[in-house]
Structure 1
Amino acid sequence: MARIGYARVSTTDQDLHSQLDRLRSEGCEIVRSEKVSGASREGRTELATVIEFLRQGDELLVTRLDRLGRDTRDVLNIVHECQQRGAFVTILDPHVSTRGEMGHVILTVLGMVAQMERRFIKERQREGIERAKAAGLYKGGKTRIDISRVRSLYQEGSRPTAIAKAIGCSRMQVYRILKSMR
C-alpha cells in the first residue's frame, strides 16, 4: 500500500513548495506535480501518470480538492478511476477520504463548491476587464513568454520543440509566435 501525492498550481509563476512539503510530511513516498490549469483534465499528464500507477490499497493524497480539479464531473471521474483501481483518495484540507461512504458525499459537495468558485473567479475577472476597458486602462493579459527569445532561438536554428522545452511552454505557443513573425 503506497501513499502517492499529487500537487498542482495553475501557472508557471506559482510555487509548489508548500504542497510538496505537506504531502511529504504526510508520508507520501511518491509525489508528482505539475503547473497546469485545473479547469479540465486536458494536459494534466502527471495526474494521468499517478492514476495509472495506483494499485489496490494505494492512497492518492492532495492538499485541497481544487488541486485535483475545479470541475465537479472531473473530480468525480478522478475519484471513480481511483476506486476502479482499488485505491482511495484523501483530501488533506479539510480532511476527507473516500475510505468511508460519507467521504463520497462530502467530495461531491466540495467538488460543486470548487466549480462554483471557478465560475465566480471568471465572472469577477470578466467584470474587471470590462471596467478596465471602459476606463481605457486594459492592455491585455500579462506576457508570460519571452517572444524575443523565441525569435532568437529560431533564428539560431532551433526547432519549435527545442524552443518550447527551453522556454517552458507548449509547441503550439511557439508555432503561434513564429506565425506572427511572418
Structure 2
Amino acid sequence: MRYAPLMRVGYARVSTIEQDAERQVARLLELGVPEDRIYSDVGFSGAKMTRTGLDNALAAVREGDTFVVPALDRLARNTEGALEVIRRLTDAGVIFQNGTTPYDPKDPMAKLFFTILAAVAEAEGGWISLRTREAMARPKVRAKLKGRRPKLTERQDENIAKHMAAGDLAVAEIAQMFNTSRTGVYRAQARHQARSAQRVGE
C-alpha cells in the first residue's frame, strides 16, 4: 500500500548544448509539476533512449503518479522508443501526459493519436538531421563553427553542477557533453555554487 501523496514528474530535453531547456521547464511548471520533480537532459538526441535525466525521471514515478512532457518529441524522436516508454509507464500504473493531454490506454483512438504523434516526431527528427547535414556540408557554415567554445549559460552551469553532485558522469564526459574543457566544468560548478550562495544570502 502506498502512503506517499501522488506526484507529478516532468521531463524536458534539448538536443544540443547551445540550447536551453528553460522554456520547457517553464511549461512543466505551468502544468503543475513541482520544480524539484523536473528532470532534464541537455545535449541528447531524441533518438537515443538511454539518457540520465530520462532514466532518473522514470525511476522517480510510482503507481498513480503522472509523468508529464511539454511535447512528445521531447520524450523521443522515434516511434518505437516513445511507445515503449508509454507502455512501461502504463504497465506501472503511471499516467502519461503530453502537454495538457493525458493518455488513456483503454481508448483505441487515444492510442492511435499518440502513435501518429510519435511517427510525426520521428519524421521531423529525420528532416532536421538532413537539413543539418546539408548545412554542415557548406564551407561557410563549417568555418563559422570553428573557433572558441561557446560561453555556457546559467542553466548549463546548473546542469553541470547537478551532474557533478550526482556523480553519474566522469568530469571528462560532462566536458564532452557541454563542449567545454575539464577546467570549464569546474568553473561552471563554482559559478553555480556562487549564485546559489548569493540567492541564499539575499
Q: Say whether the fold is shared (TM-score over 0.5).
A: yes
What secondary structure does 1:125 align onto? helix
**2:25 corresponds to which residue?**
20
CA contact under 8 A between 1:59 and 1:87: conserved in structure 2? yes
The percentage of counterpart residues that share the same residue type is 29
Which consecutive residues of structure 1, in runs of 5 or more, have no partner in the other structure?
147-160, 175-182
Q: How many Å separate the matches in 2 of 1:59 and 1:74?
A: 19
CA RMSD of aligned residues (A): 2.7
Q: How many Å separate the matches in 1 of 2:93 and 2:56?
A: 16
**1:58 corresponds to which residue?**
65
**2:95 corresponds to which residue?**
88
CA contact under 8 A between 1:97 and 1:103: conserved in structure 2? no
CA contact under 8 A between 1:34 and 1:46: conserved in structure 2? yes
State the Cα distance separating 1:145 from its structure 2 match: 8.0
Q: How does 1:4-43 map to 2 (within 5 A)?
A: 4-29=9-34, 30-35=37-42, 36-42=44-50
More relative contact order, 1 or 2 (CA 8 Å, 6+ apart): 2
Q: How many Å separate the matches in 2 of 1:145 and 1:96?
A: 43
CA contact under 8 A between 1:58 and 1:88: conserved in structure 2? yes
Q: How many Å separate the matches in 1 of 2:19 and 2:12?
A: 12
State the Cα distance separating 1:139 from its structure 2 match: 2.8
CA contact under 8 A between 2:136 and 2:142: conserved in structure 1? no
Q: Which has the larger radius of gyration?
A: 1
Q: Structure 2 counterpart of 1:22, which letter?
A: R
Q: How many Å separate the matches in 2 of 1:37 and 1:144?
A: 24
**1:139 corresponds to which residue?**
142
CA contact under 8 A between 1:96 and 1:103: conserved in structure 2? no
State the Cα distance separating 1:115 from its structure 2 match: 0.6
Q: How many Å separate the matches in 2 of 1:21 and 1:75?
A: 22
Could you tell me the TM-score, scaled by structure 2's length?
Answer: 0.65
CA contact under 8 A between 1:6 and 1:47: conserved in structure 2? yes
2:116 to 109, 129, 136: 109
